[in-house]
Structure 1
């Protein structure tokens, strides 16, 4: 029985502008990760698979010299073809170029996914023995909200039915070629090739994706790519601490951990006086050497009067992300005689997690009293202490 021929289309026709940073003008597929261009890594991943018969790269019309400069050479590597204005039209250009060769199967791969494994390629190909199409996908672990206007939540999706698609997406060549030709005649842009296959009535299966099979889209993804290559050797862990205290004044509500808690007093301060989030923000800022809240949000600036302290916390989290880092864990201790904290801890964890984009399992919130000693014992105010553990790229 003749072994099936498998062609690969590597889609590299985009300008790659979203991944640019600090004046970087090189398209992301030609930028280097650990000395090797992203596109070259992607092509090499398929050359490493003995199942692959041919590889065709679809490039932008302006990138001919960049592609040639990669110096790629292999008997299975076909001359590149020029793509279109959209990903969909670029894939169709690749399919048309392969048509005279009549491959049995075709794998369609984003150039910006340089870490596809030989095992994942094999898993996708295996499904094509039974189905018309296949793609790797990962279960969605975050809670997903649907909104009609980007502001109000309309509904919460059942994440047990949601999966994040990856590439390579594999198909029987004649079927996906026909589906793409039909799709090119309708006034609609499809998000990926599997959607076109679904629209055309083809049966598409899924295999378990790979969390390292990332798509490089934003500048911080290059940091993650380096980490995949080198492991954690390029990262270092830093720890910051925060401390804050606010006195009570007449009122009926306190804000703690981003949660509104009815009480016989309120806290005195320039913003909403959320002593827990202030300490936590200072801990994160301290871990990355960025001073304290007062540096970024001076109390002399009236725009912050009465402001929600989640604004300060979100800013600190963004500074970590901009450095290519991540928050490992947060620990907050609130010291007060009242209000009672324990029943509000899950809500506080939820607010902090949503503000920083991390899991609630990375957030610890504890409460204690001062055993009726000192100003806390006299119910004159609240103290909060916090620590933050943050991973950031190593700076030698």
Structure 2
């Protein structure tokens, strides 16, 4: 396999239309400083020299995206997403295959605006060590507990060798497309791109990423993200 990808296409699944944060719009469009969460995320990807193209998978009823300045960027394309994250990623991969089948996909959550170029560089640079693909991740630092259905602790889980999966996740487009498509056809529960690769027998690499690459899922996360982004 090639040691350096010929082209890198970033994929951003952003098809959610509801908000779990008590707002009247999807969380990726909530304000974070001077612009929306999604706008910050796209700025990081669009400004990276090694990313040739960015594909955003949107809900067909999305009424917010075209108002973003990034929507008209020459490196950006839109596709219609699906009901689940995996469906949206697959739709973007279908389009990516049509324009550059030999490229690599860099799949990143729309609600992770604190991504830094240095982590993208580390992930891209890992291709020599992990030619099958890799993901950004963070080692588990806290004590882990397993509970029963009533919320009672049943055991303490050894945190050694446990990681929090982050994004981006970085795989050859054709391989990821085929494995994700086959997994969905087999009704396999796919929680991220790496899980589709694992199901197909691939063992993705783990690249340690920054702890501030948080996903905004709760109102308090907005304040935390603003603090992280204010740091140089």
Aligned-pair CA distance for 1:203: 2.7
Which residue matches 1:141?
Answer: 141
1:93-132 counterparts in 2 under 5 A? 93-101=91-99, 102-129=101-128, 130-132=130-132
1:27 paired with 2:29, answer no
Taking structure 1 as reference, are residues 143 and 90 closer, same or farther at Cα in structure 2, changes over 3 Å only?
Answer: same
Q: Counterpart of 1:184 in 2: which secondary structure?
A: helix
Q: Counterpart of 2:90 in 1: which secondary structure?
A: helix
Aligned-pair CA distance for 1:192: 0.8
Aligned-pair CA distance for 1:71: 2.6
Deviation digits for residues 141-164 of structure 1 (CA, Å, limit 9, x no counterpart): 111111232423222111112110
More displaced 10-residue stretch of structure 1: 222-231 or 159-168: 222-231
Aligned-pair CA distance for 1:115: 1.2
Q: Counterpart of 1:136 in 2: which secondary structure?
A: strand
Larger RCO, structure (CA 8 Å, separation 6 or more): 2
8 Å CA contact 1:33–1:226 kept in 2: the answer is yes
C-alpha separation in 2, matches of 1:171 and 1:211:
22
8 Å CA contact 1:19–1:28 kept in 2: the answer is yes
Give structure 2 stretches of 5+ with no counterpart: none
C-alpha separation in 1, matches of 2:21 and 2:52:
31
Deviation digits for residues 262-302 of structure 1 (CA, Å, limit 9, x no counterpart): xxxxxxxxxxxxxxxxxxxxxxxxxxxxxxxxxxxxxxxxx
C-alpha separation in 1, matches of 2:195 and 2:158:
20
8 Å CA contact 1:142–1:159 kept in 2: the answer is yes
Aligned-pair CA distance for 1:174: 1.2
8 Å CA contact 1:128–1:171 kept in 2: the answer is no
Aligned-pair CA distance for 1:51: 0.5
Which residue matches 1:92?
Answer: 90
C-alpha separation in 2, matches of 1:150 and 1:204:
34
1:225-304 counterparts in 2 under 5 A? 225-230=225-230
Which residue matches 2:40?
Answer: 41
Q: Counterpart of 1:160 in 2: which secondary structure?
A: coil
1:45-194 counterparts in 2 under 5 A? 45-63=44-62, 65-72=63-70, 73-78=72-77, 80-101=78-99, 102-129=101-128, 130-194=130-194
Aligned-pair CA distance for 1:197: 0.7
Taking structure 1 as reference, are residues 142 and 150 closer, same or farther at Cα in structure 2, changes over 3 Å only?
Answer: farther
Which residue matches 1:4?
Answer: 6
C-alpha separation in 2, matches of 1:61 and 1:186:
26
Aligned-pair CA distance for 1:3: 6.2
Give the TM-score normalised by structure 1.
0.55
Which residue matches 2:211?
Answer: 211
Which residue matches 1:272?
Answer: none
Task: State the number of aligned residues.
Answer: 226
Aligned-pair CA distance for 1:209: 1.3
CA RMSD of aligned residues (A): 1.7
Aligned-pair CA distance for 1:8: 0.7
Give the TM-score normalised by structure 2.
0.92
8 Å CA contact 2:41–2:114 kept in 1: the answer is yes
Q: Counterpart of 2:76 in 1: which secondary structure?
A: coil
Taking structure 1 as reference, are residues 41 and 136 closer, same or farther at Cα in structure 2, changes over 3 Å only?
Answer: same
C-alpha separation in 2, matches of 1:111 and 1:42:
6
Q: Counterpart of 1:211 in 2: which secondary structure?
A: coil
8 Å CA contact 1:110–1:167 kept in 2: the answer is yes
Which residue matches 1:311?
Answer: none
Aligned-pair CA distance for 1:89: 0.9
Taking structure 1 as reference, are residues 230 and 3 closer, same or farther at Cα in structure 2, changes over 3 Å only?
Answer: closer
